[in-house]
């Protein structure tokens, strides 16, 4: 899911907006990372930059179903809660997602179509939130996982240079191929896919198309 988020232009834009509000907070008052739901709830001062930031952070986490931000480049997705032991009204309680209750005595069969029902509910929630259809269930999650690893590796390498040396891209691609255990051609293809998605052209990428 992180790979999908880091290639979704709307998400990247909204993170940048929250970051802009964060940078308006005086240095002595800025919260530490990770930024989480508890922080968003407690930064409710009457007015000022902390208030604006707390509101925006809470909205970001709710909209994209995150528990927090480990850094500006690393969102922390909310995973399934089975069972959900959080009390009603708990600050950590997810605001979105598909909710279901299964009685302890309810008979479950392998072919009871529960998986299909959940997938349909995910698609409905995705439409309600006005997110791209590819967000529902994150099809092609293996590819998105590779994309996340590649994005993270490239950012880590580039952060070490004030000015990128000649040939850096080629070295990054070679290193990524070794780290990810894939061919150089596959790394080069993934970089093109990432670029297309971040430009808002996810639907044009054949290997990421969603079929229902």
| pLDDT band with cut points at 50, 70 and 90 for residue 202 | very high
Do 131 and 143 lie in one domain? The reply is no
Residues spanned by the domain of 13: 2-77
Spatial separation of the C-alpha atoms in residues 18 and 55, rounded to whole Å: 9
What average pLDDT does range 168-190 have in this prediction? Answer: 95
In this structure, is residue 61 part of a structural domain?
Answer: yes
Give how many domains the chain has, as a whole number. Answer: 3
199 close to 4: Cβ distance less than 8 angstroms: no
Q: What is the pLDDT of residue 101?
A: 66
Residue 41 confidence (pLDDT) above 80: no
Least confident stretch, 15-24, 115-124, 162-171, 192-201: 115-124
Does residue 99 lie within any of the structural domains? no
Asked, for residue 174, whether it belongs to a domain, the answer is yes
145 & 156 share domain:
yes
The verdict on residue 173 lying in a domain is yes
Q: Are residues 129 and 148 in the same domain?
A: no
Residues 152, 189 share a domain: yes
Examine the domain organization and report whether 184 and 202 are in the same domain: yes
Q: Report the mean per-residue pLDDT for the chain.
A: 86
143 and 132: one domain? no
What percentage of the chain has pLDDT greater than the value 70? 89
Stretch 186-193: mean pLDDT: 96
- Tell me the pLDDT band of 45, cut-offs 50, 70 and 90: low
Tell me, yes or no, whether 94 lies in a domain: no
Query: 180, 172 in Cβ contact below 8 A?
Result: no
**pLDDT at position 117, please?**
81
In a domain? residue 91: no
pLDDT digits 0-9 by tens, 76-133: 998 877 777 777 777 777 777 777 767 666 777 766 677 788 888 888 888 888 888 8
Q: If residue 35 lies in a helix (H) or strand (E), which one and from where to where?
A: strand 35-36
Mark which of 26, 59, 77 sits at the end of a domain: 77
User: 199-207 long-range contacts, Cβ below 8 Å, gap at least 24?
Assistant: 199/9, 200/9, 202/7, 202/8, 202/132, 202/134, 207/140, 207/143
pLDDT of residue 133: 86
Span 24-35, pLDDT tens digits? 999 988 888 999
Looking at the structure, do residues 189 and 143 belong to the same domain, yes or no?
yes
> Do 120 and 71 share a domain, yes or no?
no
Dist. CA 190–CA 19, nearest whole Å:
27
pLDDT band at 192 (very low <50, low <70, confident <90, very high): very high
45 and 17 fall within a common domain: yes
In a domain, 69, yes or no: yes
Model confidence at 38, pLDDT cuts 50, 70, 90, reads low
Q: Which of 133, 150, 138, 159 is nearest to 192 (CA)?
A: 150
Residue 188 lies in a domain: yes
């Amino acid at each position: 899911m992180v790979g999908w988020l880091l290639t979704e232009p709307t998400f990247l834009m909204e993170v940048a907006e929250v970051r802009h509000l964060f940078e308006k907070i005086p240095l002595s008052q800025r919260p530490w990372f990770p930024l989480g739901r508890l922080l968003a709830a407690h930064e409710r001062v009457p007015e000022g930059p902390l208030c604006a930031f707390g509101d925006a952070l809470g909205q970001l986490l709710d909209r994209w179903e995150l528990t927090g931000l480990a850094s500006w480049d690393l969102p922390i997705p909310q995973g399934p809660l089975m069972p959900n032991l959080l009390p009603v009204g708990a600050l950590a309680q997810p605001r979105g997602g598909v909710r279901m209750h299964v009685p302890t005595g309810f008979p479950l069969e392998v072919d009871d179509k529960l998986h299909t029902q959940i997938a349909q509910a995910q698609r409905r929630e995705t439409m309600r939130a006005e997110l791209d259809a590819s967000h529902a269930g994150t099809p092609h999650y293996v590819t998105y996982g590779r994309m996340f690893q590649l994005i993270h590796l490239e950012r880590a390498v580039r952060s070490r240079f004030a000015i990128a040396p000649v040939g850096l891209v080629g070295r990054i691609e070679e290193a990524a191929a070794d780290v990810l255990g894939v061919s150089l051609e596959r790394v080069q293809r993934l970089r093109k896919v990432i670029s297309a998605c971040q430009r808002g052209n996810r639907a044009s990428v054949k290997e990421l198309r969603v079929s229902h």
